Chains A and B, each alone.
Chain A
């Protein structure tokens, strides 16, 4: 465990936004990347196939109790919350939906903030709801880096705007700025 990680939350318009960011991550990217996208509660995870084909990093559905590894992109399974334990292992849960969503971005962000503290970068992307706002606030409170997709250019601004309102210290970034930030993380 490097003690560092990246978490990303996306909803409406999320697949396109992630297509701008995840394929830009270079081979050997040293951090694990955990992603929650609001998807309908089906069993098969089409996101994994979609992004495995586009990305240079390993892409997989997160499995309960597995240890996170750098250079891997983990997607939350449909219909389960994705959490991080304080020892850096994945935990899944079929608890109640949060913000009408399961997986919920808040659940991933809050548990990852607990686990990684200042070692965490969290990014709220496009979406039509308020999920991720409380989580981003928790990330910032734990000393992590809080980022939102610039609401001015996001496909759906509601979610990054809500996150920025709840967490005023969050930095709005364009896709280019986000990928630059992530590449800097890899270098540091």
Chain B
């Protein structure tokens, strides 16, 4: 499966070495991320940061402490929107929430939360559905600057029109404007939305189980992993879910190719919402 059609270029070798160096020195493991995308992002980083080669960039990454955070911002993808794929949130609202209502307390894990758009969407949805008071959210990411942005909950005002439309299509029965204050071109989301959120540095690649979740939402994260890493992450989700807990993936992600597929059943197939089956 790893047979390459065209031999590696010098650039490919440099990328391999850089990822190995970042792993050995900083324990950030991008070695098994889907390579085509990582390569594009590293080449972009190289030109944006003004290096002639990946090797020259590697030298500074290892020696200059300010370089790693900058590199992480290229290596991790931080593109999202609130209530992205509104039909996913509608399915959570209509199909999953009725099950969650039966629990006395709830734990929700937003894995790979990036800048927090998905977290705030879920926090608003749970409040609208009257479950916020008994829910603890866990928002994790490997990128400290993304976690910081998630904790701040501030988004450019020009995105709000899209967020608002998405929220309405998701079946939202409040107004998104109830949850933010607009100032200086930015929308600052209400801090009560994160009063029951634990933000934490966690890697699906190298870290361990996160316990007894009722819902894990991890969308457009697994597509950046190769199959082995996907298997690891899905195994982690399996072991982190309560009995009959739910797992939501991105619209183009699926458990079909996963070795852990049998631990889950399709709950809302079209929306990539799965339920942990009984062991």
Query: Does chain A bind chain B?
Result: yes
How distant is the Cα of A142 from the Cα of B39 in the complex, in angstroms? 16
Are B250 and A94 interface neighbours, CB within 8 A? Answer: yes
Q: Which of B4, B39, B252 has the most CB of A within 10 A?
A: B252
- On whether A110 and B227 interact (CB within 8 A), knowing A64-B253, A91-B34, the answer reads no
Which residues of chain B have C-beta atoms less than 8 A from A64's C-beta?
Answer: 223, 252-253
Which residue of the partner chain B has the closest CB to A119? B5
Name the interface residues of A1-22: CB closer than 8 Å to any CB of B.
Answer: 1, 3
Which of A64, A91, A117, A142 has most B Cβ within 10 Å?
A64
A-B contact count (CB 8 A): 77
The 8 A CB mask of A24-64 against B (1 = contact, 0 = none) is 00000000000000000001000000000000000000011
Contacts of B8-60 to chain A: CB distance below 8 A: 12, 34-37, 39-41
Q: Tell yes or no: A77 within 8 A of B by CB.
A: yes
Give the interface residue-count category, chain B.
20 to 34
A146 proximal to B (CB < 8 A):
no
Q: Does A123 contact B (CB under 8 A)?
A: no
| CB of A65, distance to nearest CB on chain B (Å) | 6
Q: What's the Cα separation between A85 and B269 when bound, in Å?
A: 27
Kindly report which residue of chain B lies nearest to residue A107, judged by CB atoms: B40
Chain A: residues with Cβ within 8 Å of the partner, total of: 30
- Does residue A93 face the partner (Cβ distance < 8 Å to B)? yes
Bound CA–CA A93/B230 (angstroms): 15
**Contact between A65 and B227 (Cβ–Cβ < 8 Å)?**
yes
- Pick from A63, A83, A117, A119: contact of B252, CB under 8 Å: A63
Question: Using an 8 Å CB-CB cutoff, how does the interface string of B235-279 with A read, 1 for contact, 0 for none?
Answer: 000000000000000111110010000000000000000000000
Shortest Cβ distance from B230 into chain A, in angstroms?
Answer: 8
Q: How far is it, in angstroms, between the C-alpha of A150 and the C-alpha of B227 when the chains are bound? A: 41
- Complex formed: what's the CA distance from A23 to B6 in Å? 30
A111 CB within 8 Å of chain B? yes
**Contact between B4 and A92, CB atoms less than 8 A apart:** no
**CB of A87 within 8 A of chain B?**
yes
> With A and B bound together, what is the CA distance between A63 and B227 in angstroms?
13
Lowest 8 A-B CB distances belong to which pairs? A117-B6, A83-B36, A111-B36, A3-B5, A94-B220, A86-B4, A91-B34, A93-B37
Since A84-B36, A115-B5, A119-B5 are in contact, a sample of 5 more A-B pairs with Cβ atoms closer than 8 Å, ordered by chain A residue number, is A3-B5, A85-B34, A111-B39, A114-B36, A115-B6
